């Protein structure tokens, strides 16, 4: 163990040497680091090596012991200072007390007394050192635990388990900076049913998580954590428009994960939110988007705002059965909707529920159905009719009648949602087709450009466009350009390079390559064979 250092200060060198010889300093755990003849010299030595203890006379030239003690306390607040003096005056002692001097000793210094003083100081320094070590151990343990504490915080945050007033304290305690104007939650789901040969689901999920850390965490400046078996990232953004960019990059990551990890990864993107207290809504939206993989296919990026346009999530659907029913209405089969409706009624009609409580639950059911319809822009009149006595009629139904009624309502809602979804998809596909027909000659026409005009992500656009037309957008654009090129080759005498430019190709050679690949002959030969 290293020795504590002692700096001796006195303008009489023989006094210093006498004190050095009086005590075996090494044996009591101290090392004399040096001595000085006045306060100025002592400060110079103290700057070179911080002393643990300073033993100084009071009366010295240039800078006396009390002034030295004052300066040392500024430099090293924990330094122990012992003052010895031949002047037994109260004013000196009073000033020494104000400066928190450890001991005030009168000359001549007794060796035994000095030894006892230093032994006491050593005990105090040892105790202080142990406390520092314990604090450092706690600090080290805290820093080791910090990543786990941060992950637990993020999980509680997206679950809505942290009171609004406590969020700033947790951010400070866990050294987290979340100061972006907006955030969106992204859920990364790795399929555990489609595994590469010889790889467990745990290893595959970890492999995908590492890939996220490599390719997305730094690029997006995200906060990444595991929650409910998925990898979740909180992505900072400046506006809702950034969510489209995030969706496209997520789509690229899905392809990267399949190529690098052989993993089928589906990524759900929630709405952008303006405060941390809204993150639970964004997270739930992202989770719901992942569940839509049964409709849109796994291995894709799915943006909740694109597949559920205009939807405003209701926080009131707390009953598990009702939540499952609404989920089935959105993405299940008609059979699933009926099964969930029946299960919901069975839950409400279970034994042990009083008649008044049952009626209350039925009224809450009807209210929840209304809220769900309104938040999803479903027309209520075709669903519920105009009967003002709806609540009374429904509460008087028996279990079989209520089940039949609820199945009918839920199926009608599903039909409307499906129709709205198809209409929305057909609308922007129609707009895309019309834009191609009006602008096929634009050499800068790309999928990114048309998605920017339509306000949708390339991932969602590509999936929907192919579903509606049977072709990818690039194939559709190429085919249409080729149709226009053929028409010009037959009807006009323009040069091939002119026609190439007219139908959107800056490079005539590339135009000829695409044309020959499509029709089996070059543009020039195609023209000559038809004249």
Q: Where are the domains of the chain?
A: 4-130, 177-307, 309-421, 440-531
Q: How far apart are CA 213 and CA 464, in angstroms?
A: 30
SS3 letters across 276-331: HHHHHHHHHHHHHHHHCHHHHCCCCEEEHHHHCCCCCCCCCCCCHHHHHHHHHHHH
| pLDDT value, residue 279 | 92
For domain 4-130, which CATH number applies: 3.10.110.10, 1.10.40.30, 3.40.50.2300, 3.20.20.140?
Answer: 3.40.50.2300
- Mean pLDDT of all residues belonging to the chain: 83
| pLDDT value, residue 138 | 65
Enumerate the H helices of 159-271 as residue ranges.
167-173, 201-212, 218-220, 242-260
> Does 420 or 282 have the greater pLDDT score?
282
Residues 391-429, buried b or exposed e (16+ Cβ, 10 A)? eeebbeeeeeebbebbbebbbbbbebbeebbeebbeebb
Domain 440-531 has CATH 1.10.3720.10: no
The predicted-structure confidence for 220-247, as pLDDT tens digits, reads as follows 778 889 998 899 999 998 877 788 889 9
Residues 6+ apart with CB under 8 A from 346: 399, 403
Full DSSP string of 369-426: HHHHHHHTT--SHHHH-S-TTHHHHHHT--HHHHHHHHHHHHHHHHHHHHHHHHHHHH
In the predicted model, is pLDDT for residue 428 greater than 90?
no
CATH topology of domain 177-307: Alpha-Beta Plaits (3.30.70)
Share of the chain above pLDDT 70, in %: 88
CA distances from 146 to 143, 206, 216, 410 (A): 5, 20, 21, 47
Closest C-alpha to 460, from 290, 252, 306: 306
The predicted-structure confidence for 327-386, as pLDDT tens digits, reads as follows 788 777 888 888 888 888 877 766 545 556 667 777 888 888 888 888 777 887 788 776
| pLDDT value, residue 425 | 56
State the Rg of the chain over Cα.
39
Quote the pTM value.
0.49
In the predicted model, is pLDDT for residue 482 greater than 90?
yes
| pLDDT value, residue 388 | 63
In the predicted model, is pLDDT for residue 109 greater than 90?
no
Work out the average pLDDT over 39-65.
Answer: 88
């Amino acid at each position: 163990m290293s020795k504590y250092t002692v700096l001796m200060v006195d303008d009489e060198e023989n006094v210093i040497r006498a004190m050095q010889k009086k005590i075996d300093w090494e044996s009591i755990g101290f090392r004399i680091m040096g001595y000085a003849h006045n306060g100025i010299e002592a400060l110079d030595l103290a700057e070179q090596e911080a002393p643990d203890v300073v033993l100084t006379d009071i009366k010295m030239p240039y800078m006396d012991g009390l002034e030295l003690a004052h300066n040392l306390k500024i430099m090293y607040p924990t330094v122990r200072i012992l003052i010895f003096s031949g002047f037994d005056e109260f004013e000196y002692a009073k000033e020494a007390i104000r400066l928190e001097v450890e001991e005030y000793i009168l000359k001549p210094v007794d060796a035994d007394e000095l030894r006892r003083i230093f032994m006491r100081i050593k005990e105090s320094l040892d105790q202080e050192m142990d406390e520092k070590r314990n604090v450092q151990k706690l600090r080290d343990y805290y820093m080791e635990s910090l990543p786990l504490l941060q992950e637990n915080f993020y999980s509680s945050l997206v679950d809505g388990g942290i009171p609004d007033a406590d969020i700033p304290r947790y951010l400070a305690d866990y050294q987290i900076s979340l100061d972006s104007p907006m955030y969106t939650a992204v859920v990364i789901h790795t399929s555990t049913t489609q595994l590469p040969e010889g790889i467990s689901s745990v290893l595959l999920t970890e492999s995908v998580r590492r890939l996220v850390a490599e390719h997305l965490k730094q690029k997006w400046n995200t906060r990444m954590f595991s929650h409910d078996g998925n990898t979740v990232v909180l992505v900072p953004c400046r506006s809702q428009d950034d969510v489209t960019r995030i969706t496209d990059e997520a789509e690229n990551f899905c392809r990267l994960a399949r190529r690098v990890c052989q993993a089928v990864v589906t990524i759900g993107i929630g709405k952008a939110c303006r405060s941390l207290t809204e993150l639970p809504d964004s997270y739930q939206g992202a989770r719901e988007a992942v569940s839509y993989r049964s409709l849109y296919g796994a291995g894709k990026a799915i943006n909740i705002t694109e597949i559920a346009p205009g939807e405003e999530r209701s926080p009131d659907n707390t009953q598990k059965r009702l939540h499952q029913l609404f989920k089935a209405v959105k993405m299940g089969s008609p059979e699933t909707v009926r099964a969930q409706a029946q299960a919901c009624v069975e839950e409400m009609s279970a034994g042990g529920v009083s008649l008044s409580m049952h009626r209350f639950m039925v009224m809450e059911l009807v209210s929840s159905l209304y809220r769900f319809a309104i938040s999803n822009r479903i027309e209520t009149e075709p669903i519920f009719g105009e009967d003002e006595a709806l609540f009374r009629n429904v509460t008087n139904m028996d279990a079989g009648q209520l089940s039949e009624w609820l199945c009918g309502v839920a199926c009608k809602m599903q039909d409307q949602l499906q129709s709205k979804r198809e209409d929305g998809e057909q609308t922007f596909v129609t707009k895309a087709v019309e834009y191609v027909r009006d602008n096929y000659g634009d050499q800068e026409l790309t999928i990114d450009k048309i998605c920017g005009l339509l306000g949708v992500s390339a991932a969602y656009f590509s999936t929907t466009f192919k579903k509606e037309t049977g072709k990818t957008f690039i194939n559709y654009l190429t085919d249409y350009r080729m149709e226009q090129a053929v028409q010009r080759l037959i009807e006009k005498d323009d040069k091939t390079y002119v026609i190439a430019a007219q139908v959107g190709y800056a490079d005539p050679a590339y135009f000829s390559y695409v044309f020959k690949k499509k029709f089996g002959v070059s543009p020039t030969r195609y023209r000559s064979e038809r004249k």
